[in-house]
């Protein structure tokens, strides 16, 4: 599939030996940055406008200056160039890691954003429902404090790594993360939706979740279909009242949650939304 692995380094597609020394970067030394993950569907980038808007908002929150090659049309062209240069077919996952360039330890000498993009093949065409629903639990060892950067995909991800280890140890497909008010805010790498009496309920951004691209797409899609959506505070006991629970992210689309403790869930709404989502992304990307 690939003769040699290609990367995007700023505005150039390069070989691995052309990449900067990661151990000297501010991204490695200080976790001074954020990342964005795209699903490329057969050479197209669905929801790219939402992805780019989050990159711009993240850079603003981090007080980084966005170079020309990170502008919307320029970046889209570069990511598609990376896909083509990698000799991939079908779908792929692209991760763009963006961090502050230069030196300065805790006081940066410059604020220009620099980036490294990697790409890998993933199976499937478009978004597919998981045949076996996910079993979820709660992760309560560490809590997330809402802040001006909590809605972005920050490089400092220790909470999510610890949550992932906890889920693996407990044999769970995913766990839900709480903020310091003990409110549900998100899963390890996804946003969460509850279906209650035909309406969608999802944690509001002020409570601290990552502002997911797929979260926004599902909210917009549901409203267009006439489904009520409530962005609100959610607590764990409401999982026991829900008719359905599903998770969303840009790579998997919509994932059906089958169970939480002894509670079992249907997936009628998740299946319907996923079908409608594919119609949108496969025709408009």
Query: Does the pLDDT of residue 245 top 80, yes or no?
Result: yes
User: In angstroms, what is the C-alpha Rg of the chain?
Assistant: 19
Name the average pLDDT for the chain: 94
Q: Give the contacts of 217 (CB within 8 A, at least 6 positions apart).
A: 47, 50, 248, 277, 280
What's the rounded mean pLDDT across residues 137-162? 97
pTM: 0.94
- Who wins on pLDDT, 1 or 84? 84
How large a percentage of the chain has pLDDT more than 70?
Answer: 98
Query: Does the pLDDT of residue 2 top 50, yes or no?
Result: no
- Who wins on pLDDT, 53 or 1? 53
Query: Does the pLDDT of residue 135 top 50, yes or no?
Result: yes
**CA-based nearest residue to 41, from 164, 161, 100, 123:** 123
The per-residue pLDDT for range 180-218, each reduced to its tens digit, is 999 999 999 999 999 999 999 999 999 999 999 999 999
**Band (22; pLDDT cuts 50, 70, 90):** confident
User: Would you list the domain boundaries of the chain?
Assistant: 6-122, 134-284
What is the per-residue pLDDT for 283?
A: 67
User: If 0-12 CB within 10 Å is exposed, 13-18 middle and 19+ buried, where does residue 61 land?
Assistant: middle
CATH fold of 6-122: D-amino Acid Aminotransferase; Chain A, domain 1 (3.30.470)
CATH fold of 134-284: D-amino Acid Aminotransferase; Chain A, domain 2 (3.20.10)
Number of Cβ atoms within 10 Å of the Cβ of 30? 16
**Band (1; pLDDT cuts 50, 70, 90):** very low
Read off the tokens for 36.
């964005």
**Band (285; pLDDT cuts 50, 70, 90):** low
What's the rounded mean pLDDT across residues 104-126? 91
What is the per-residue pLDDT for 284?
A: 62
């Amino acid at each position: 599939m690939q003769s040699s692995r290609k990367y995007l380094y700023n505005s150039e597609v390069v070989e691995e030996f052309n990449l900067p020394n990661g151990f000297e970067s501010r991204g490695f030394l200080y976790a001074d940055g954020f990342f964005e993950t795209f699903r490329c569907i057969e050479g197209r980038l669905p929801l790219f406008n939402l992805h780019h808007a989050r990159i711009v908002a993240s850079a603003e929150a981090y007080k980084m200056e966005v170079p020309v090659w990170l502008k919307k049309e320029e970046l889209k062209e570069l990511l598609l160039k990376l896909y083509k240069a990698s000799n991939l077919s079908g779908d792929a996952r692209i991760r763009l890691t963006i961090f502050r360039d230069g030196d300065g330890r805790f006081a940066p000498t410059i604020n220009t954003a620099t980036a490294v993009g990697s790409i890998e093949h993933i199976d499937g065409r478009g978004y597919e429902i998981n045949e076996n629903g996910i079993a979820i639990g709660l992760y309560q060892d560490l809590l997330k404090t809402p802040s001006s950067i909590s809605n972005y995909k920050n490089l400092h991800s220790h909470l999510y790594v610890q949550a992932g280890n906890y889920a693996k140890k407990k044999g769970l497909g995913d766990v839900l993360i709480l903020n310091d008010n003990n409110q549900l805010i998100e899963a390890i790498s996804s946003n969460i939706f509850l279906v209650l009496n035909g309406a969608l309920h999802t944690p509001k951004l002020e409570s601290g979740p990552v502002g997911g691209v797929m979260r926004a797409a599902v909210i917009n899609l549901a409203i267009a279909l006439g489904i009520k959506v409530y962005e609100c505070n959610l607590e764990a006991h409401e999982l026991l009242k829900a008719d359905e629970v599903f998770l969303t992210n840009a790579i998997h689309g919509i994932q059906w949650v089958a169970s939480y403790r002894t509670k079992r869930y249907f997936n009628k709404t998740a299946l319907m939304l996923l079908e409608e989502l594919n119609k949108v992304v496969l025709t408009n990307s």
